[in-house]
């Protein structure tokens, strides 16, 4: 039997056309390469700071 309350939680509001520009965050234009580069930079920063 379907649990209505539980199923309802699977639905979320849809993006409104008027709010597209507010909702384009930096995470939307970040890919795996950016994540790896950021990780690498943080690592070298830490090493540099500890020098």
Residues 6+ apart with CB under 8 A from 23: 15
Q: How many CB atoms lie within 10 A of CB 29?
A: 8
Output the smallest distance, CB 50 to another protein, in A. Answer: 10
Output the smallest distance, CB 42 to another protein, in A. Answer: 8
Output the smallest distance, CB 22 to another protein, in A. Answer: 11
Question: What 3-state class would DSSP assign to 11?
Answer: coil
Structure tokens belonging to residue 4 = 């209505």
Positions that interact with another protein (CB under 8 A): 1-2, 4, 7-8, 10-21, 23-24, 28-34, 36-37, 41-42, 44-45, 48-49
């Amino acid at each position: 039997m379907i649990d209505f309350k539980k199923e309802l939680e699977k639905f979320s509001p849809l993006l409104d056309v008027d709010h597209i520009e507010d909702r384009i965050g930096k995470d939307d234009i970040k890919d795996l390469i950016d994540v790896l580069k950021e990780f690498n930079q943080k690592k070298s920063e830490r090493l540099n700071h500890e020098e």
